Amino acid sequence: METDIETNAETHIRLRAAGPEDTSLILEFIRALAEYEHLSSQVKAEEDTLGQFIFKEKRAEVIIAEYQGAPAGFALFFRNFSTFLGRPGIYIEDLFVKPEFRKKGLGKALLRSVARIAAEEGCGRLEWACLNWNEPSAAFYKSQGAAPLTEWTTYRVTEEKIKTLAGFS
């Protein structure tokens, strides 16, 4: 069941909330993003787990962007919380537009749509990460008013190390 978020006949852009029937499309976008970022070997996601965590457990939300009726991009995001602000926030895990649909306003429409959700929910922050080498995306984000956090370093513990840290192995 598709739920329109925004339709603009003038720009030919339609944004809609993804549903379970979009799981394979979401995985297609994830793989295309990973290819663009030269990280294809790191994609372990499968349709069944995406469907489980996004649509059944509601751990994340996805907005699909269409251009002239064709699937063109997506934003996948989830809620977090800032203890310093004492308020919720939203973290955009992925925002991707297929290369053939870039420069048509889709990225801006997706970012604006997630920002509206953040504003409506009283969020104190809307955050995401961008690879250092990805200058076109960094320039786009800066043009939308975002500022890079240069004083923070992101740390990551992955699946096997999580188990070790948890004391399971």
**pTM score of the predicted model:** 0.93
In the predicted model, what is the mean pLDDT of residues 53-78? Answer: 98
Q: Is 67 a catalytic residue?
A: no
In the predicted model, what is the mean pLDDT of residues 146-169? Answer: 92
- CA angle, 49 then 110 then 7, to 5°: 110
Closest Cα to residue 116, out of 1, 5, 3? 5
Q: Select the CATH number that applies to the domain covering 3-165 from these four: 2.60.120.330, 3.40.630.30, 3.40.190.10, 3.90.550.10.
A: 3.40.630.30
Q: Max alpha carbon distance in the chain (Å)?
A: 57
pLDDT in tens, 121-138: 999 999 999 999 999 999
Q: Catalytic pick from 36, 67, 91, 141?
A: 141
Domain boundaries, the chain: 3-165
